[in-house]
Amino acid sequence: MKNSILLWLFFFESLLFAQKADTIWFLNGERMITSKYSINVEEGFITFQNKKNKTSQLNLEFVFSIVDSNNVETVFFEPTTIEKRYYSVEDMRNFIKGEFMANEKYRSPFPFISGFVTGAASVYAMPSLFGLNVFFSPLVPAANSAIVGTFNYKEDKVKKKYPEYIENPYFIAGYREVVTQKRITNSIKGGLIGLGAGVISVLIINQILH
């Protein structure tokens, strides 16, 4: 009986904590739900515990808004022009919504696979095909990442996936921005792992042959 009461108390305390947690929206489309943060308006910083429970500090210029547990929003973003495009508060809200959706929903294995293949193959290709030292191998996956980054995610794909945002260029721009970043990042990760796998395979083959 006592244990049941303690479990119920723990449940209600957890529920109360969840209800008191605020939502921090960052300009890169990331969202953090937490109550463990503080703001220094005079110095322009926000201090919070990150996902690894380590204390981080960030300039408030990277924070769009904070929505408290009563759904009251405090906006820190100020209208501005970025790359010749004007962003009002609502424009940036839609841009961030696009970024958030891409962070949460977009998945594509191709950039990682292409990075892995080029990374692993470069260990063999550089010495045998080009007569270069194996230390030049990272140039190949690096070039692959650059190529992947040049192929922008088409607007039509976003519109087809999210027809409700067809007339919202800021949502589309935010979505495409994060997709490009994720493609490049995944290509780099694949390239590094591929390089490692290629080097290990070369060492194993050399040991077998000798």
Q: Tell me: the pLDDT tens digits for 173-210?
A: 999 999 999 999 999 999 899 888 888 887 888 788 76
First-to-last CA distance in the chain? 71
Task: Please tell me whether residues 58 and 123 are part of one structural domain.
Answer: no
What pLDDT score was predicted for residue 139? Answer: 80
Of 16, 45, 77, at which residue does a domain stop? Answer: 77
Of 19, 44, 77, at which residue does a domain stop? Answer: 77
Query: How many domains, the chain?
Result: 2
Task: Please tell me whether residues 97 and 22 are part of one structural domain.
Answer: no
When mean pLDDT is compared across 39-43, 75-79, 98-102, 159-163, the lowest value belongs to 39-43
Task: Please tell me whether residues 89 and 73 are part of one structural domain.
Answer: no
Task: Please tell me whether residues 157 and 58 are part of one structural domain.
Answer: no
Which structural domain range is residue 99 located in? 85-209
Of 77, 96, 129, at which residue does a domain stop? Answer: 77
pTM over 0.75: yes
Task: Please tell me whether residues 184 and 135 are part of one structural domain.
Answer: yes
In tens, the pLDDT along 51-104 reads 788 888 999 999 999 999 899 999 999 999 988 889 999 999 999 999 999 999
In the numeric block, the tokens 């010495």 are attached to: 127
Task: Please tell me whether residues 192 and 111 are part of one structural domain.
Answer: yes
Provide the angle, in degrees to the nearest 10, between the axes of the packed helices 169-209 and 89-105: 30
Strand order in the sheet with 45-49: 37-40, 45-49, 55-59
